């Protein structure tokens, strides 16, 4: 049983560009959450998707958007990249009935130059 | 913003010793969880304690929760070099009379276990 997978592993972009990160949840999980982790900090909640809709959102600007597909996989899009967007982006999945049990993927390391 | 803070920021011990790290949080919670992270990669869930529980054990891990002080502690007994990692507490926040689905993480404790 595959766990949560994320792609790509690493990504380098320049300021002003747009980026799309991808996440496949653990089998049987229908809820996907995204987190941003800056170097030396704890992860910060970006948003959560369930039934292809955004259910919860953290304190992030509209440049951060997402999508969930019918197979429960998800994408995180960031527009107009800033240097401060450089971080590890973590995806977590959970089943609706036990949403506390969040399983995290290995993350995507985004560097903005 | 971070929900809380962890103390100490960094801890270095010898193999076989016990490691204790503390977490404080700010608002009402539904539950509190501890995660481990190796070398800036994915987070591994260690243990969950509910707001109506005071202590929980899992293998070499012991977690306590004091909701009156809004604090929790994680004790790792008989530490091993493989326990070297960053440890984060995370709270599932209670808002507007209901549980939310978002985890709010602390700032983390970097534990180094020397062989």
Report all structural domains of chain A as residue ranges with CATH numbers, in order of start: 5-112 (2.60.40.10)
Question: What's chain B's average pLDDT?
Answer: 90
B36-78 pLDDT tens trace: 999 868 899 999 999 999 999 999 999 999 999 999 999 999 9
Task: Give me the domains of chain B, ranges plus CATH numbers.
Answer: 5-114 (2.60.40.10)
Distance in Å, alpha carbon of B43 to nearest chain A alpha carbon = 6
Q: Does A60 touch chain B (CB under 8 A)?
A: no
Band the pLDDT of B94: cuts 50, 70, 90.
low
- First CA to last CA across chain A, in angstroms? 37
- As a residue count, chain A comes to 113
* Residue B100 near chain A (CB below 8 Å): yes
pLDDT range class, residue A95, cuts 50, 70, 90: confident
Chain B nearest-CA residue for A9: B41
CB-CB contact of B55 with B65 (8 Å) = yes
Q: What is the DSSP letter of A97?
A: G
Q: What is the DSSP letter of A9?
A: S
| SS3 assignment, position B70 | coil
Tokens encoding B87: 């440890």
Taking contacts as CB-CB distances below 8 angstroms, the residues of chain A near B44 are 104
Task: Label residue A55 by pLDDT band (50, 70, 90).
Answer: confident
């Amino acid at each position: 049983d595959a766990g949560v997978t994320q792609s790509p592993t690493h990504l380098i972009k320049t300021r002003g560009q747009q980026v799309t990160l991808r996440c496949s949840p653990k089998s049987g999980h229908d809820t996907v959450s995204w987190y941003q982790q800056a170097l030396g900090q704890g992860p910060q909640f970006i948003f959560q998707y369930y039934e292809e809709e955004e259910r919860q959102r953290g304190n992030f600007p509209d440049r951060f958007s997402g999508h969930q597909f019918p197979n429960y996989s998800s994408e995180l899009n960031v527009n107009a990249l800033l240097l401060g967007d450089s971080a590890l982006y973590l995806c977590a999945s959970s089943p609706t009935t036990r949403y506390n049990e969040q399983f995290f993927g290995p993350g995507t390391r985004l560097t903005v130059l | 913003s971070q929900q809380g803070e962890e103390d100490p920021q960094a801890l270095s011990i010898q193999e076989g010793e016990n490691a204790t790290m503390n977490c404080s949080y700010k608002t009402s919670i539904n539950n509190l969880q501890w995660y481990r992270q190796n070398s800036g990669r994915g987070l591994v869930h260690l243990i969950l304690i509910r707001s109506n529980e005071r202590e929980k054990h899992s293998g070499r891990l012991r977690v306590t929760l004091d909701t009156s002080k809004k604090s929790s502690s994680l004790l790792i007994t008989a530490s091993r070099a493989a326990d070297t990692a960053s440890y984060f507490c995370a709270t599932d926040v209670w808002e507007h009379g209901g549980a939310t689905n978002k985890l709010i993480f602390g700032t983390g404790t970097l534990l180094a276990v020397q062989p």
